Structure 1
Amino acid sequence: MKKLIFTGILAIAGLATTANAQIQKGNWMVGSSLLSSNFGLNTGAGYDIKLQPRAAYFVEDNVAVGGYVTLGFSKPGAGQSTQFDYGVGALGRYFLSPGEKGVDNLLNHGRWFFEGNVGVGGFNVENGISTTGLDFGVGPGYSYFITPNIGVEGLVKYNGVTGFGNEGLTSRISFNVGFSIYLPTSKAKDVANDVR
């Protein structure tokens, strides 16, 4: 247990001391979007929670590719059907450099990006409505780095699922809030070696 705590402290210290290397070739990005959350306060009110953990590797400066998993559960309220959302697939993210194409950073400690995903996903509702098939999405976002390697992110994204089931195509626009940790490969190797 002590070894695990010590490894965690070393990883956080490494994250805090790395400067301006977040989105360079060879780095890793891991994090999660809190797609939506809604907790009703009235008697019989419902709730809605969706998470999208993801991991990506920077194949070039400013360009990351990886994967994601979407898990969601919603219970709208008394007398309404429970819904389960799911998905798994590939994602890509491109970060704009300062001044690129006339787009300057909103703040000195952040970056604009575009994200797209494609995979397999769907939803099932307790009353029998369902769709399973191609899960896709695209949209712009902004990552504000609260430390050199930890970003709080906002993302406006068009999401869709098309395929088989009672609904041929479902789509929505979502505002996602989440975080990502940008870890240089050398630091990831150090943490892995310390754990062993």
Structure 2
Amino acid sequence: MKKLILTGILAVAGLTTTANAQIQKGNWMVGGNLALADFGLNKGGGYNFSIEPKGAYFIEDNIAVGGYVDLGFKGAKDAATTFTYNVGALGRYYVSPGEKGIDNLLNHGRWFVEGNVGVGGTTISKGGTSSNGLNFGVGPGYSYFITPNIGLEGLLKYDANAGFGNVGYTNKIKFSLGFQIYLPTSKAKQIINDVK
């Protein structure tokens, strides 16, 4: 019963935070992007699906560091299946309202820049081609906060793999949509201490 009450208190506290509180020092960001999903309907049509879960901790106001995983599958009937993976560290910087002439869109969102570096690769089932190596990327994004703790995001990012193997260096520009949940750790700790 105590845990149920604590969960309810945390939920109410999370919903009552201010619009800037979610990107303050000590908070967590958890979520991900759905980079691309399509399923071919024509004869020989295939599928293409990629997800990017990520999590980060705000080491300072507007600055978060954490990790990411990027998994993707692409294929079609009687064709090669491609599996891609990337895993590593990421960093984000959220631009403050009015900073460098960039204003908040409707006062409910923030522009940000995200960069990442890690390991990754691509494996194609037919033909045996593969590439494994350094994965890195950088790009701007925008997070629109539909509630004080949930942001819908768009991210335009240059993504590259400096690989070893049959493929070598690959790069692309990708646009992804997703969401993040911002967890105010400082308020949660305070509520937990008050319940004890």
Deviations 1:41-94 (A, max 9, x none): 22331111111111101111100000011111111x233210111111000000
SS at match of 2:111: strand
Change (3 A) 1:68 1:4: farther
Q: Is the 8 A contact 2:133 2:163 kept in 1?
A: yes
Unmatched segments (≥5 aa) in structure 2: none
Q: Does 1:126 align with 2:125?
A: yes
- In the alignment, does 2:73 pair up with 1:54? no
In structure 2, relative to structure 1, the CA distance for the partners of 1:112 and 1:167 (3 Å cut) is same
Find out whether 1:28 has 2:38 as its counterpart.
no
Aligned partner of residue 71 in structure 2, secondary structure = strand
Q: Distance in 1 between matches of 2:180 and 2:6?
A: 19
RMSD: 2.1
Change in CA separation of 1:71 and 1:188 when aligned onto 2, cut-off 3 Å: farther
More deviation, 2-11/161-170 = 2-11
Please give the alpha-carbon distance, in whole angstroms, between the structure 2 residues aligned to 1:123 and 1:4: 44
> Which moved further from structure 2: 145-154 or 103-112?
103-112
Instruction: Find the aligned partners of 1:191 and 1:126 in 2 and give their Cα distance.
Output: 52
Which stretch shifts more, 92-101 or 9-18?
9-18
CA–CA distance in 1 between the matches of 2:148 and 2:168?
Answer: 44
Distance change >3 Å, CA 191–CA 37, structure 1 → 2: farther
1:192 offset after TM fit, Å?
Answer: 8.7
Counterparts of 1:126 and 1:190 in 2: how far apart (Å)? 52
Count of residues in Structure 1 that have an aligned counterpart in Structure 2:
191
Counterpart CA distance in 2 for 1:120 and 1:155 is: 20
In the alignment, structure 1 segments of 5+ residues that lack a partner are none
Q: Which residue of 2 aligns with 1:175?
A: 175
- 1:130 positional shift: 1.1
**How many Å separate the matches in 1 of 2:143 and 2:154?**
7
1:101 is paired with a residue of what secondary structure? Answer: helix
CA contact (8 A) 2:144 2:153 kept: yes
